[in-house]
Amino acid sequence: MVSLIDPTPRRLHMTTSIDRPIDGSLDRLDYAEALQHLSEASTDHHFEAFKDIDWDAPEMQFPPDDERWILPASDPLSRHPWYVSLPRERQIAVGRHRLTALTKTGSQFEQLLLLGGTQFLMGLDNRNPEFRYFMHELTEETHHIQMFQEFTNRACPEVSGCPRWLLRLFPVVGHLGGLTPALFFAIILAGEEPIDHVQKNQLRGGGVHPLLDRICAIHMAEEARHIGFAHAWLREHAPQLGPVSRSMIGVLTPVVMRIGADAILVPSRADRKMMGMPRKVVRETFHRGPEAAKFRRDLFADVRACFDDIGLRTRGTRWAWRAMGVDGRSSRFRAEPAAASH
């Protein structure tokens, strides 16, 4: 038996547990075995938003002058001169808003996953083992949505999260789960990889607020399975794609990676205004200069490795990765720390 994950609540307090190469081990299994392991892991180790988080514990509360909201070094905004020069209480308020906006956007993307995921499931034949595992995944997402939303309600209910124009497109994007599952799985990765990356870096850097740390640790533990499955699904099904689909998905994948990264990591207009952040701060932090480019590139090193392996990132499609600003070196193994891969 390959041990995929053992995220018992006690272990999740140890940030070292996040570095285990859980989902990478899937690559050594055949597909049916991998699905079986994933399903068993989800059956044995899963979390419930209102059972596994002690929401009302004293250390989980937010006093108004709580300095733990000051943005961690892993957030590029924390280094911008605008943020650095703010008075302490504004740094706390902006940090609280920013960290909650990331969480809220995560929950919106997970709702998209439910929308498209149920359509994907309806296209599966009886006895297809993908059904059981993916249903486990959707069940886990419902708890992620609950915990992200509860966190948002408590920490900063004023946030908006995802840009409005993109939210309006979600019902349409959900149809792709049934129409073009391969593109839909790329979209899943565009949502899951940036959130996972941010949460890992936050915990590797020592964490932020204990409530957010707890939520991130639970999320990362289950997300490792989800990301592992999306990679395994693409590896299994990419060889069956015809040439037109291969070209289409090869070109559209970097486009959806860019859209996903920007929607999740860049403050939306509504949140930027609420934080009192000048537009040029967003431009300088997330769109211009080598640091912003590296930050975005690093999010998708695992996706690039997967698409290299399945032959969808080729000489014919790399221009799109470059044009979207998500090209770069591929990771050597899943969840390789970014500093080591460049």
Residues that bind Fe ion (CB under 5 A): 110, 144, 223, 226
Nearer to Fe ion, 223 or 298 (CB): 223
C-alpha to C-alpha distance for 227 and 221, rounded to whole angstroms: 11
Q: Which residues are CB-neighbours of 280 under 8 A, at least 6 positions away?
A: none
Q: How far is the CB of 113 from Fe ion (least distance, A)?
A: 6
Q: How far is the CB of 96 from Fe ion (least distance, A)?
A: 22
Dihedral sign, CA of 314, 315, 320, 321? Answer: positive
Nearer to Fe ion, 143 or 246 (CB): 143
Q: How far is the CB of 232 from Fe ion (least distance, A)?
A: 14
Nearer to Fe ion, 26 or 94 (CB): 26
Tokens of 227: 């990301």
Q: How far is the CB of 311 from Fe ion (least distance, A)?
A: 25
Q: How far is the CB of 138 from Fe ion (least distance, A)?
A: 9
C-alpha to C-alpha distance for 123 and 180, rounded to whole angstroms: 11
Nearer to Fe ion, 17 or 317 (CB): 17
C-alpha to C-alpha distance for 161 and 41, rounded to whole angstroms: 31
Query: Of 260, 300, 267, which Cα lies nearest the Cα of 286?
Result: 267
Largest CA distance in the chain: 60
Cα dihedral 203/207/209/212 (nearest 10) = 0
Place of tokens 């720390």: 337
Q: What is the H or E stretch that residue 256 is in?
A: helix 243-265
Q: How far is the CB of 102 from Fe ion (least distance, A)?
A: 13
Nearer to Fe ion, 229 or 321 (CB): 229
Tokens of 339: 């500093």
Nearer to Fe ion, 159 or 188 (CB): 188
